Amino acid sequence: MFSWNHVLLLSIILLIKECATQERCLEGFFHYDNACYFFSSHLSADWLEAGSFCKRFPGGDLVTIETQSENNFIKQQLLLKHGQKFYWTGGTDEFFEGHWVWISTMQKISYTDWFHGNPSDSGSGEDCMEIMVGLSDQDTTWNDVDCSKKANFIFEVPYVQCNLANTCTCTMLY
């Protein structure tokens, strides 16, 4: 027999079904763990411009690479799907020379994958971190470089905030 309880139950089932089929990363983003990643292979910018671009997305900023598994994911993406040589990350020591932090959190960089002899702070100074894409995992490593260099970039947004069309009703189910 019809009752409002049936209507409520049906509504909940429909809500769950809709949430279950909803994309959780925007198109063009790649999901790993609790974040969605974007690789700007068709857009290059200096480090500050790249950061400003990333912040246009809710919760977005230049990538933080905090674990070896996150680093491996990013390297695999760069090697398999994205064709450029140099990608900005959110690593910087522009606040205090030699003290590397992730700009989005200001947390000290603990896990590292620097290219041999780096960070080098060569020439007139190198205060921003790029990933140099080599031919394999082993030679795709981090380098400090002049922040005014034009490079492609990687940014990351939280998994639950990355769908701009999200009505937020699904967030609790994630």
Residue 68 or 120 with smaller CB distance to Ca ion: 120
Scanning 3-11, 113-121, 131-139, 159-167 for contacts with Ca ion by CB under 5 A, the matching segment is 113-121
User: Which residue spans within the chain are E strands per DSSP?
Assistant: 30-32, 35-39, 61-62, 86-92, 101-102, 107-108, 128-132, 141-145, 152-158
| Cα–Cα distance list, 47 to 10, 35, 38, 70 (Å) | 50, 21, 15, 21
Residue 19 or 72 with smaller CB distance to Ca ion: 72
Rounded CA separation 63/65 (Å): 6
Dihedral angle at the C-alpha atoms of 32, 35, 36, 38, nearest 10 degrees? -100
| Least distance from Ca ion to the Cβ atom of residue 51, Å | 15
Q: Is 44 in the site for Ca ion (CB under 5 A)?
A: no
Q: Is 93 in the site for Ca ion (CB under 5 A)?
A: yes
User: Taking Cα atoms as reference points, which of 78, 81, 79, 39 lies closest to residue 62?
Assistant: 39
With beta carbons less than 8 A apart as the criterion, state whether 160 and 24 touch: yes
Residue 143 or 166 with smaller CB distance to Ca ion: 143
Residue 15 or 72 with smaller CB distance to Ca ion: 72
Pattern 114-143, Ca ion, x by CB under 5 A? ----x-xx----xx---------------x
Q: Which of residues 47-76 bind Ca ion (CB under 5 A)?
A: 64
Q: Which residues bind Ca ion (CB under 5 A)?
A: 64, 93, 118, 120-121, 126-127, 143-144
